């Protein structure tokens, strides 16, 4: 296999490893700074997570963002600095004005999608813009290792066909989620071999399962709920769609809270309790409705608020006869109904793992990178970005926002090298 040294010109290029969201953005901004850039991708077409995201529509960005919505075991302050390095408004302008991809707000979710509703338009526009700025993209090129500079020698990027000299390297290989997209943790292993601390990784934003599948007969039912997980200090709340599946539970609210379930099993402690409030009404409101329901009965009252099959199941689990007159309910019966309607204990036992996880939790410790340039504090000239880093956000375009922001910072930082 011939060397790739000449692909990006005669000078030592900035080499970006991984042509996903973060890597492609890094390549664009390194090239716009006047550097020769070589973008290496292990798959034959790249950007697969962009293409499959949002059901093929690509949720490019959220319409609003708070750093407190993100999860990290590293410094929240460092996370905040990185997130705010490229404000949301400027990111949106980049897509709409620079790439020519108008975005439309989905009112009910607050998500921003391309007006075309085609995720390939996003991936293809990024690649076209990168090439237009002089970026050379090499597909089917798997990087196997990095050799850091010794004396005046440059970085050496090892791949199946040999080595590439680089003035700086950006690692943007993703985490472990959706392995079919090409994410296999190779970049994390390279970073670890170079001395970086890798906080334990785990599947995040992943569906939960129940074994045996207690609610398999409710598969397909979806509704808006509020989930709450009690923590040692306070509680974690997730609001949004909830979907019953044949194996358990999915939907945005479940995915957003799933990391707590996964971590509780990893830590070997008690499984994380997750309580469901099935409607807008809380415990006090349900108690009032049950007390003041007049001449009605339990079943019809609950059915008015919930899908019939779910309503019937919850009443059955409460142990109260659905034909029981509301006026005759005892306090014990009311409490039992309130428990299943407003603070239902979700019977999860596991998760769907990396195969269906949207992102990877854990990763490279943020304390080991400079927040402005994302350059390694341990290996000058190495920049890390995207899902490899110890941070992730909720469902709704937040993880693309993280990828775009970290990719830009890493690309600009790498361009200053040498």
- Mark the ranges of the chain whose per-residue pLDDT is less than 70: 1-10, 151-152, 418
Q: What is the pTM of this model?
A: 0.94
pLDDT value of residue 2: 35
Domain ranges of the chain: 14-199+362-415, 207-274+346-351, 283-345
End-to-end CA distance of the chain: 29
Q: Return the CATH class of domain 14-199+362-415.
A: alpha beta
CA distances from 376 to 14, 85, 198, 284 (A): 15, 17, 13, 52
Task: Please give the Cα distance from 294 to 168 (Å, whole number).
Answer: 74
pLDDT value of residue 160: 86
Instruction: Specify the CATH architecture of the domain 207-274+346-351.
Output: Beta Barrel (2.40)
pLDDT value of residue 21: 97
pLDDT value of residue 238: 97
pLDDT value of residue 11: 72
Query: Could you tell me which of 413, 407, 390, 363 has the C-alpha nearest to residue 25?
Result: 407
Instruction: Specify the CATH architecture of the domain 283-345.
Output: Orthogonal Bundle (1.10)
Helix (H, G, I), strand (E, B) or coil at 315: helix
Query: Could you tell me which of 284, 310, 291 has the C-alpha nearest to residue 299?
Result: 310
pLDDT value of residue 4: 58
pLDDT digits (tens, 9 = 90+) for 135-173: 999 999 999 999 988 766 799 999 988 899 999 999 999
pLDDT value of residue 172: 98
Task: Please give the Cα distance from 224 to 229 (Å, whole number).
Answer: 17
164 close to 4: Cβ distance less than 8 angstroms: yes
Length of the chain, please? 418
Query: Could you tell me which of 159, 86, 164, 148 has the C-alpha nearest to residue 410?
Result: 86
pLDDT value of residue 152: 67
pLDDT value of residue 180: 78
pLDDT value of residue 148: 87
């Amino acid at each position: 296999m011939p060397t790739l040294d000449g692909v990006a010109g005669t000078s030592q290029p900035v080499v970006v490893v991984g042509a996903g969201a973060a890597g492609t953005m890094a390549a664009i901004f390194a090239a716009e700074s006047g550097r020769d850039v070589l973008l290496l991708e292990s798959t034959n077409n790249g950007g697969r997570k962009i293409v499959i995201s949002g059901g093929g529509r690509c949720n490019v960005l959220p319409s609003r963002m708070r750093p407190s919505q993100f999860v990290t075991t590293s410094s929240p302050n460092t996370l905040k600095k990185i997130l705010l390095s490229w404000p949301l408004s400027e990111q949106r302008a980049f897509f709409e004005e620079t790439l020519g991809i108008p975005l439309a707000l989905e009112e009910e979710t607050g998500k921003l999608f391309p007006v075309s509703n085609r995720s390939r338009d996003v991936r293809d526009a990024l690649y076209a813009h990168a090439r237009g700025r002089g970026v050379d993209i090499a597909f089917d090129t798997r990087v196997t290792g990095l050799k850091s500079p010794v004396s005046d020698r440059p970085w050496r990027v090892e791949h199946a066909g040999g080595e590439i000299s680089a003035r700086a390297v950006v690692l943007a290989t993703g985490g472990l989620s959706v392995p079919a997209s090409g994410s296999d943790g190779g970049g994390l292993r390279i970073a670890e071999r170079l001395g970086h601390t890798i906080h334990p990784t785990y599947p995040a934003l992943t569906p939960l399962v129940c074994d045996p599948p207690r609610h398999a007969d409710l598969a397909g039912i979806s509704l808006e709920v509020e989930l709450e997980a009690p923590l040692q200090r306070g509680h974690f709340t997730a609001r949004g769609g909830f979907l019953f599946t044949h194996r358990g539970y999915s939907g945005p609210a479940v995915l957003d809270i799933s990391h707590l379930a996964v971590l509780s099993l990893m830590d070997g402690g008690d499984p994380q309790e997750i309580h469901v409030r099935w409607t807008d009404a809380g415990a006090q409101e349900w108690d009032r409705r049950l007390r003041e329901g007049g001449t009605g009965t339990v079943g019809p009252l609950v059915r008015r608020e919930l899908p019939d099959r779910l309503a019937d199941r919850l009443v059955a689990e409460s142990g109260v006869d659905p034909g029981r007159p509301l006026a005759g309910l005892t306090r014990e019966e009311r409490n039992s109904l309130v428990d299943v309607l407003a603070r239902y204990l979700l019977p999860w036992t596991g998760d769907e793992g990396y195969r269906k996880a949207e992102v990877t939790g854990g990763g490279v410790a943020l304390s080991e990178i400079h927040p402005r340039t994302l350059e390694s504090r341990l290996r000058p000239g190495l920049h890390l970005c995207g899902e490899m880093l110890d941070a992730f956000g909720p469902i709704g375009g937040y993880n693309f926002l993280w990828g775009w922001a970290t990719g830009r910072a890493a690309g600009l930082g790498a361009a200053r090298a040498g």
